[in-house]
Amino acid sequence: MAEIEIRGLEKSYGKNRVLKGIDLDINSGEITAILGPNASGKTTLLKCILGLVIPSRGEIKVKGKNVSEGYDYKRFIGYMPQEPSFPENLTPEELIGLISNIRGAYPKESIERLAELFRVKGFFRKQIRSLSGGTKQKVSAIIALAFNPDILILDEPTVGLDPVSSSKLKEEIIGKKKEGKTVLLTSHIMSEVEELADRVVLLIEGSMRIDSSVQKLKEETGESKLERAIAKLMEEGLG
């Protein structure tokens, strides 16, 4: 059974249809990349899964639980937004403690390992308002990963990270896949998608236009790079 099941998902804001009947299964043990130009519906799709946006129509199930019937399913998810927004007066240590209370667990060893990995331990007792954007992004990565969730949802996860931290985060993501976790991400960086993803889903103006493995896309187009493969398909009429 798919970890995330999406059927007939639609979302409109007034007359603006952002998602147009999405049917999609997200499976465990693989990394699925949701791609598309700006305003294609990528972030709205993720937020519908997370319960941050209420769909206009359709159904989403996470681990067999309908997301409209309660929030308990969220304990299975680690989420890393594109632009983390935290209470500015808290320190990362206090923030993680607060989230631990909500989740009912404090994975001390995991938090310490990730803090060392991303070199942010020295910032743990400084107010978040004083931290750089990159450091906030690292704190967001720690929060997403530390509780060993079954499902990771990552929206442009490496944006704002330095090359070393970006590389380490990608290693963590690949490690989670090897553990059989479910990873769903968005990224505008095609080389990153090619490095990480097993499967690509392309949204254009709220509709699914491609759902394929990275390898199959390259084989079908005769291109050696994912970016050129997708560009070629779009030039042939998929866009």
Q: What are phi and psi of 207, to 5 degrees?
A: -115, 145
Q: Which residue has the tokens 């890393």?
A: 80
What pLDDT band is residue 81 in, cutting at 50, 70 and 90?
Answer: very high
Q: What pLDDT, on the 0 to 100 scale, is given for residue 1?
A: 66
Where is 99: in which H helix or E strand? helix 92-103
155: containing domain? 4-238
Number of domains in the chain: 1
Whether the pLDDT of residue 124 is over 50: the answer is yes
For residue 210, the cross-strand partners are 202
Please say if the pLDDT value at position 164 is more than 50.
yes
Q: What is the pLDDT of residue 148?
A: 93
- pLDDT of the residue at 239: 43
d(CA 40, CA 20): 10
pLDDT of residue 231: 85
Q: How far apart are CA 84 and CA 69, in angstroms?
A: 26
The pLDDT mean for the chain works out to: 93
User: Would you tell me how many other CB atoms lie within 10 Å of the CB of residue 17?
Assistant: 16
b/e sequence 188-212, b meaning 16+ C-beta within 10 Å: eebebbbbbbebbbbbbebebbbeb
**Tens digit of each residue's pLDDT (9 = 90 or more) over 218-230:** 998 999 999 898 8
Q: What is the pLDDT of residue 181?
A: 96
The domain spanning residue 73 has which CATH number?
Answer: 3.40.50.300
* pLDDT above 70 coverage of the chain, percent: 98
How confident is residue 234, by pLDDT bands cut at 50, 70 and 90? confident
Looking at this protein, which amino acid is placed at residue 55? P
pLDDT in tens, 137-161: 999 999 999 999 999 999 999 998 9
Taking a C-beta distance cutoff of 8 angstroms, is the pair 115, 124 a contact? yes
At 126, list the tokens.
């400084």
Q: What is the pTM of this model?
A: 0.92
Q: Is the pLDDT confidence value at 236 over 80?
A: no
